[in-house]
């Protein structure tokens, strides 16, 4: 039984399954996840997948892996698909992550942004919102809050509805605010009790969050972006999905626009139109 913790071991070297015979079902679920989210679980990560599926079964009171797969195939349990999307991905994130590229955004990207009515900035795997609020703070520090809000349109999307809900609430435990310089913490957050701090309304009302699966087609955007961030999400895709996502990001970016990945997520082995600028920074040709 899935609910029986003893049937899943944490031995990393060999894949482990819920019970004898579940290997094939686990593989089918793995394929479903790949087809619907682009997240690729290699064989050595199957124990992790098994653990995560076990938690989903427990949460949704699904008795075993075969029933879970049957629900996925039938497509009549949207709650399961959403829960699964949440459970099988890693949501770790923090404010001012990879500071060198946040500085690059402020010092080198912002000055190149065109004189259009609004700069459109999109974080395509925003998790619980820290990345998006970091960009908003940087824009506000650079342009002043009023002008930044008028000039910058900031969108955060993620596959996980739970993450989007957290991002919209913008409430974080104090320890998550540690990477933020004290003066900025005081300026952009307010304590809401029990060690929790909330982003101030001017940030919260400004940043927009929506659920979006990067693997879904087509993306629902009418206008192009000037900066796209796909940080710490490309890792989880295989080369084929990675290429497809960054190429679609290229098409949805204005000439001269920018792609920011994590500094360790290289597009080197991928045949892409993006031009490498420095680790984690790519640019589309055209523009100033
Ligand atoms: C490790 S977090 C990265 C958060 C942030 N970008 C950062 O760098 O700190 C990865 C996020 O990617 C999201 N994700 C995974 N697969 C996705 C997909 N197919 N479409 C959209 N988001 C996805 C996860 O839900 C998770 O919140």
Q: Backbone dihedral region of 266: left (phi > 0), alpha (psi from -120 to 50 degrees) or beta?
A: beta
With a 6 Å cutoff on the Cβ, whether 158 touches ligand 1 is yes
- Count of Cβ atoms closer than 10 Å to residue 209 Cβ: 24
CB 8 within 8 A of CB 16: yes
Q: Are 154 and 135 in contact (CB under 8 A)?
A: yes
**Is the Cβ–Cβ distance between 261 and 234 less than 8 Å?**
yes
User: Ligand 1 within 6 A of 160 CB?
Assistant: yes
Which residue lies with its CA nearest to atom 19 of ligand 1? 37
CATH top-level class for 99-283? alpha beta
Residue nearest to atom 26 of ligand 1 (CA): 91
Tell me: the pLDDT tens digits for 234-263? Answer: 999 999 999 999 999 999 999 999 999 999
Q: Please write the tens of the pLDDT for every residue from 189-198.
A: 999 998 999 9
Could you report the per-residue pLDDT of 5-45, keeping only the tens digit for each?
A: 333 333 444 444 567 678 899 999 999 999 988 898 998 88
pLDDT of residue 85: 83
Distance 285 CA to ligand 1 centre (A): 26
Q: Is the CB of 233 under 6 A from ligand 1?
A: yes
Residue-wise pLDDT tens digits, 165-211:
999 999 999 999 999 999 999 999 999 998 999 999 999 999 999 99
Q: Please check whether residue 245 is in contact with residue 38, taking contact to mean a CB–CB distance below 8 angstroms.
A: yes
Q: What is the DSSP string of 65-105?
A: HHHHHHHHHHT--HHHHHHHHHHTS-----TT-SHHHHHHI
Name the residue ranges covered by the structural domains of the chain: 5-87, 99-283
The average confidence (pLDDT) of the chain is 91
Residue with the nearest Cα to atom 17 of ligand 1?
159
| pLDDT of res. 18 | 63
For residue 97 and ligand 1, the question of a CB distance below 6 A is answered with: yes
pLDDT greater than 80 at residue 160: yes
Q: Please tell me the predicted confidence (pLDDT) of residue 260.
A: 98
Interval 154-168 mean pLDDT: 95
Neighbours of 288 (CB within 10 A): 9
Q: What is the mean pLDDT of residues 83-106?
A: 93
Which of 163, 164, 233 has the most ligand 1 atoms within 8 A of CB, as the residue to mutate?
A: 233
> Looking at the predicted structure, is the pLDDT value of residue 115 above 60?
yes
């Amino acid at each position: 039984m899935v609910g029986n913790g003893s049937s899943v071991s944490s031995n990393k070297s060999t894949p482990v399954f819920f019970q004898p015979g579940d290997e094939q079902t686990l593989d089918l679920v793995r394929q479903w996840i790949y087809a619907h989210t682009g997240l690729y679980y290699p064989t050595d990560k199957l124990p992790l997948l098994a653990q995560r599926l076990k938690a989903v079964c427990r949460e949704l009171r699904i008795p075993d892996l075969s029933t879970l797969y049957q629900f996925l195939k039938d497509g009549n349990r949207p709650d399961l698909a959403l829960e699964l999307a949440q459970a099988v991905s890693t949501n770790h994130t923090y404010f001012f992550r990879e500071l060198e590229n946040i500085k690059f955004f402020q010092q080198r990207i912002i000055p190149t942004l065109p004189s259009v009515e609004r700069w459109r900035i999109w974080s395509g795997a925003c998790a619980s919102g820290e990345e998006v609020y970091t960009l908003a703070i940087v824009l506000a520090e650079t342009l002043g809050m009023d002008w930044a809000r008028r000039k910058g349109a900031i969108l955060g999307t993620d596959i996980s509805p739970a993450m989007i809900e957290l991002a919209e609430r913008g409430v974080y435990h104090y320890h998550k605010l540690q990477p933020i310089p004290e003066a900025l913490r005081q300026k952009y957050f307010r304590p809401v009790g029990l060690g929790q701090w909330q982003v101030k309304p001017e940030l919260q009302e400004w940043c927009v969050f929506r659920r979006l699966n990067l693997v879904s087609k087509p993306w629902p955007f009418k206008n192009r972006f000037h900066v796209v961030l796909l940080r710490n999400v490309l890792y989880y895709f295989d080369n084929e999905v990675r290429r497809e996502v960054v190429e679609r990001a290229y098409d949805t970016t204005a000439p001269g626009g920018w792609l920011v990945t994590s500094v360790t997520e290289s597009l080197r082995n991928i045949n892409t139109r993006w031009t490498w600028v420095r680790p984690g920074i790519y640019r589309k040709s055209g523009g100033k």
